[in-house]
Chain A
Amino acid sequence: MFDTILLLVAQTTVLLAFSPFLVGLIRKVKARLQLRRGASVLQPYADLAKLFHKQPVISTTTSWIFTATPYIVFASILTAGLLVPTFISQTPMNFAGNIIALVYLLALGTFFLMLAGLDAGSAFGGMGSSREAIVASLTEPAMMLAIFAIALTNGSTNLSTIVHKTALLEGIVTDPSPHLMALAALFIVALAETGRVPVDNPATHLELTMIHEAMVLEYSGRYLALLEWAAGLKLAVFLSLIVNVFAPWGIATAVTPTAIGIGLLVYVVKTAALAVFIGVIECMFAKLRLFRVTDLLGVAFILALLGLLFFYILRS
């Protein structure tokens, strides 16, 4: 019991403390590839600290949704993060929900974010919300199918079980094609859900092109800090999901100090490597035309579906 609580606190701390680093790391990689020195990778921490000290300004036309949204978004994404194994395969919260719970916890945050975008009544918030609705409704099925393809090979929809079994090389299939298809699909979904190039541009100042940024345009002070932190958390959740579902080796499979130490180190290295890869991708591609995003997400969906079909074809 005590162990479980301790692990729960540890996982929460790791997610909260590590996520701004990932954001800073991507920015740093982009800066270096653009011949710039770039801000320190620790800059997002300083930004959060600054924003928490600032007084928020709230439009008088907003309702309770506007002020409640940052807390709901932050809480739902953090809870989703506790369902995903990070450094230990059996997360302490694994009893609480499976991958379907994960998908809908993330959707809950997105839903409230879209409401908040509409709430202030500005032109840009509404545009951001309507675009986010397109993206979210297309990423959701692709993400579900991708994880189902993996779930089928492992015989469970519980993420901890999936990761634990894969880490111990139990029930591993000889043909990895369903895994590869699901990986590609999930990676595209991760780019779309976390608002990266080529779907959205987190660095833009052009209101008319924004998706995620347009929804949070009216926020300031601690509310903005929470939303920024939540965006970082979401990135960490997706990166953890990808590295641990597809390559969990090195993760702690037993609750011993050595295993946890190694697990923590391997986790940090793997997610950081994936973040660097995302940074490189952001430098290689231009952002897609808004209506081409649907094509990209369609590709993700088809890949995930093929992954699922392959499982049945290979089994029979």
Chain B
Amino acid sequence: MSEAIFCDDLLTAAFPGILKHDPICAKSSHFTVPKDRLPAISHYIHTQPSLRGRLTLLWACDDRPVRDSYGLYYLFTLEASHHWVVLSTELAGHDRLFPSITPHIHAAQWYEREIRDMFGLIPQGHPDLRRLVRHEHWPKGTHPLQKDFSWNNVLERQQGEYRFHHIEGEGVFEVPVGPIHAGIIESGHFRFSVAGEPIMQLELRHFWKHRGVEKLFEQLTLTDAVLLAERVSGDTTVGHALAYCQAVEALLHLEVPRRANYLRSLFLELERLYNHLGDIGAMCNDTAYALAHAHCGRLKERIMQLNDRLTGSRFLRGVIEVGGVTQDIESRRLVEIVEELSHIQSDFSEVGAIIFANASLTDRLETTGVLNERTAWDHAVIGIVGRASGRDCDLRRDRPFAAYDELPVNVALYRYGDARARLRVRGDEIHESIRLIREVRDKIPNGPIASQPRSLPKPGAWTLAAVEGWRGEILYMVMAGEDGRIHRCKVRDPSFVNWPAIQWAVLGNIIPDFPLINKSFNLSYAGNDL
């Protein structure tokens, strides 16, 4: 609590005009600020040595049905205390302009472009106002998250051209890759400028399959929308469902039973396990080291089959619900899980030893795709990628949720920021996840696995929830509407934050190493393109 007071005092002393609100959740502060002071205040929070706020989320909300204004919200996580600071401001009446903070805070770049596309609010002073989410074939003036835009609107197509950044000079070529690839890869476009093989510039062009997820949330009730959250990114079913449910439970003031919290941690770790195993195998496959790929594929399959036996779903769908979990796991089954995982762990240790002893593989991974700590901080990079670049952040330890307040996590941290460091973070986390599951078996209490929601939240009430999914920090902002419906739901997969960073990690590397670098990040296209 002292942290909160310290940070609040610092801000109110530096900026007397700002208005303090009740915190939206534990370990957070909330201020309303005049819109023209936003850049100065965010810059202060970002750079003040005792605060060092990392821009964590930036979202807008169309409140016009109620009070003729748009709301803008800026979430910062303070570096040392992991305390949340929310700044909010209003654009009243016909005001569609807000000052951009991107010139000071690089991480805001995609958020502000996204807000411009989805709401038609214009970030003044933004260095790059090209369209991000709505591609050029969307008609002018289409802003789907405005409340007067109907969710089942069918768009016409128009002509338009996206202007890539060009590097010109003798011997400089552009290599366009995607969005249609030779293998089974999701649709993303990568535009390389190369002189020979080394990459001079990479520009991403994503958002090819906009599904309107955030708009769809607004058509659903708070309890039903778990199913949608599960499908935001298929490989992060538990992570997204859990983050969403935590937000809704906070709105409903619902206490989740302790046993359910332990089971939630169990499912989250199982999801982390199968994805990390798959990733390590896939990275080896990209270097044509097929042996490790085969063994990791086998281990991943064993975990997915375990998931299937436990819950009836290989991807753990339908397991998390608002108020708890849908599946109980008997203690006998828990012992079986731990036994199975012990076998997998000893197999993985052997595979890991082979992988790290293989000189030809190490040569491919070391110094490939280095993302240094400074760039990682500037882009607010999180998750596995952040931890491989010396960014010591893991929500399971920093802002414990589910049962992690009773399950202390040892965070894997590496400083080199190359593909090998990202592989090592995954390897360490596999062992750590298995250890955590053993601890779940030892500590899990008996009791109910779900509690029933009793009341409906007040329209306009909103909250934030965060979960450390296997890729990194997943954030949900849920604002309640009338009759238990959703007024606004902001989904933030870690991929949205980490994608731009890849453009810096590849610089100076050669083109044939790009697939390996991309795989070592392994970001979601679907979770990024809502």
A binds B: yes
Which residues of A line the B interface, CB within 8 A? 30, 33-36, 123, 126-127, 131, 197-198, 201, 203-209, 217, 282-292
With A123-B175, A123-B176 known as contacts, the answer to whether A206 contacts B290 (CB < 8 A) is no
Which of chain A's residues have a CB closer than 8 A to the CB of B197?
Answer: 290-291
- Given the complex of chains A and B, what is the CA–CA distance between A292 and B513 in angstroms? 12
Measured CA separation A205–B511 after assembly (Å): 15
Between-chain CB contacts (< 8 Å), 10 pairs:
A123-B175, A206-B183, A207-B177, A285-B358, A286-B288, A286-B361, A287-B289, A288-B363, A289-B510, A290-B513
Residues of A within 8 A of B103 (CB): none
**Assuming A34-B294, A208-B515, is B175 touching A289 (CB within 8 A)?**
no
User: B408 an interface residue at 8 Å Cβ cutoff?
Assistant: no
Determine the chain A residues whose CB is within 8 A of the CB of B175 once the complex forms. 123, 127, 208
B172 contacts A by Cβ under 8 Å: no
B288 and A201 contacting across the interface, CB-CB below 8 Å: yes
- In the assembled complex, B397 has its CB within 8 A of some CB on chain A: no
Question: 7 more A-B contacts (CB under 8 A) besides A127-B175, A285-B358, A290-B512?
Answer: A30-B290, A35-B295, A123-B174, A123-B176, A204-B288, A207-B177, A290-B197
Q: Does B293 contact A (CB under 8 A)?
A: yes
Contact (Cβ within 8 A) B290 A283: yes
| Cβ-defined partner of A198 (8 Å) among B184, B360, B510 | B360
Does A206 contact B289, Cβ atoms closer than 8 Å?
Answer: no
Q: How far is the CA of A255 from the CA of B274 in the complex (A)?
A: 62
A290-B510 in contact (CB<8A): yes
Q: How far does the Cβ of B508 sit from chain A's closest Cβ, in whole Å?
A: 13
Report the bound CA distance from A217 to B197 in whole Å: 19
Contacts of A292 in B (CB 8 A): 363
State how many angstroms separate the Cβ of A205 from the closest Cβ of chain B: 3
Q: Does B431 contact A (CB under 8 A)?
A: no
Interface residue tally on B, bucketed by range: 20 to 34
Task: Determine which residue in A33, A127, A203, A292 has the highest number of CB atoms from chain B within 10 A of its CB, and name it.
Answer: A127
B32 CB within 8 Å of chain A: no
Asked if A289 and B183 sit within 8 Å, CB to CB, the answer is no
Rounded to whole Å, the gap between the CB of A192 and the closest CB of chain B is 14
Asked if B514 is an interface residue, CB under 8 A from chain A, the answer is yes
Q: Which residue of B lies closest to A206 (CB)?
A: B515
A260 to B174, CA, bound (A): 56
Are A197 and B176 in contact (CB-based, < 8 A)?
A: no
Partner of B286, one of A206, A217, A282: A206
Inter-chain contact B294/A209, CB cutoff 8 Å: no
Q: For residue B176, which residue of chain A has the nearest CB?
A: A123
Give the residues in chain A near B289, CB-CB below 8 Å.
285-287
Query: A206: which B residues are within 8 A, CB to CB?
Result: 182-183, 286, 515
Does B211 have its Cβ within 8 Å of any Cβ on chain A?
A: no
User: Is B374 part of the binding interface, using a Cβ–Cβ cutoff of 8 Å?
Assistant: no
Which of these, B173, B295, B363, contacts A289 with CB under 8 Å?
A: B363
Nearest chain B residue, comparing its CB with the CB of A284: B291
Answer whether A207 and B182 are a contact pair too, CB < 8 Å, given A34-B293, A286-B284.
yes
Asked whether B317 is an interface residue with its Cβ less than 8 Å from the other chain, the reply is no
- The docked-state distance in angstroms from the alpha carbon of A249 to that of B515 is 46
* B364 located at the interface, meaning its Cβ lies under 8 Å from any Cβ of chain A in the complex: yes
Q: Is the CB of A285 within 8 A of B182?
A: no
Question: Of all chain B residues, which has the CB nearest A134?
Answer: B197
Interface check B43, CB cutoff 8 A:
no
* Distance between B303 CB and nearest chain A CB, rounded to angstroms: 16
Which single member of B298, B511, B512 contacts A35 (CB below 8 Å)? B298
**Which residues of chain B are near A34, meaning CB under 8 Å?**
290-291, 293-294
Query: With A and B bound together, what is the CA distance between A282 and B284 in angstroms?
Result: 13
The 9 closest A-B pairs by CB, nearest first: A205-B183, A34-B294, A287-B288, A286-B289, A201-B288, A286-B287, A286-B361, A206-B515, A209-B512
Q: Is the CB of B364 within 8 A of A289?
A: yes
Bound Cα distance A33, B290 (Å): 9
Residues of B within 8 A of A36 (CB): 294
User: Among A123, A198, A290, which residue has the most Cβ atoms of chain B within 10 A?
Assistant: A123
Report Cα–Cα, A185/B382, bound state, in Å. 47
Contact A209 B515 (CB under 8 A): yes
Of A127, A203, A217, A289, the residue contacting B290 (CB under 8 A) is: A203
Q: Tell me whether B514 and A285 are in contact (CB under 8 A).
A: no
- Expressed in whole angstroms, the minimum distance between the Cβ of A280 and any Cβ of chain B is 10
Cα–Cα, bound, A316→B183 (Å): 58
Cβ contact within 8 Å between A208 and B511: yes
